[in-house]
Amino acid sequence: MNEKLIREVQSVPGLQLVAVTKKHTKEEVDELARLGLRVFGENRVQEFLEKYDPAYEWHIIGHLQTNKVKYLMGKVSLIESVDSIKLAAEIEKQAAKAGLVQPILIELKISDDPNKTGCPLCGYPGLLDFVLQQPHLRLDGLMCIASHTDDENKVAEEFDQMKEFSRQLQQKVPGADILSMGMSQDWKLAAAHGSTQVRIGTALFEPQD
């Protein structure tokens, strides 16, 4: 485990580290917990359910199918990857059934990479309006996956664009102050451009420098 990286991220004021544990074991999750981490992110619902431990805080960060939503209610503190009205409607339906309010982030497709997920920017106003009308959804902020490129200027521009979307959102919804952007390869750049939460997996499980 890269304890040096954990300390480095945790030393940044106002920055939350979400440890991405996909393809790693429950024992590895427990080891990260012993190092002081308590927030874990999973991409796939089945894998999440196999590792779920109520002692920890769990985020769903991967593309979420509507037929899997019902398995998450009461178990995840944040669904970060809400990218469509269809998905938001299903979360609302299942949260209402469970008698709870589900915190979510809207995932925006800030990159022009066709392989990246997220709500297209043209669809964001409609999705935002829909989410804000749902009594069992609580919008906590925005999430994105930036372009995977060595061009730091391009990535920085995407992060700045997200920061502006976040600023505008907080004018409308003051509590929606999470901006989840930045992963193993670009978390420092994301933090410098306004991220409040980084999702780091690969680099956490590498040996220390």
- The residues pairing with 74 across neighbouring beta strands, listed in sequence order, are none
> Model pTM?
0.97
Residues 95-109: pLDDT tens digits?
A: 999 999 999 999 999
Q: What was the pLDDT predicted at 209?
A: 67
Q: What was the pLDDT predicted at 206?
A: 86
User: In the chain, what are the domain boundaries?
Assistant: 3-205
* Residue type for position 37: L
Contact call for residues 204 and 166 (beta carbons, < 8 A): no
Nearest to 32 by CA among 19, 15, 23: 19
For residue 28, give Cα distances in angstroms to 24, 25, 49, 131.
6, 5, 15, 35
**pLDDT(208) > 80:** no
**Topology, domain 3-205:** TIM Barrel (3.20.20)
Q: Where are the alpha helices (DSSP H) in 52-122?
A: 85-98
Residues 144-195: pLDDT tens digits?
A: 999 999 999 999 999 999 999 999 999 999 999 999 999 999 999 999 999 9
- If you average pLDDT over every residue of the chain, what do you get? 96
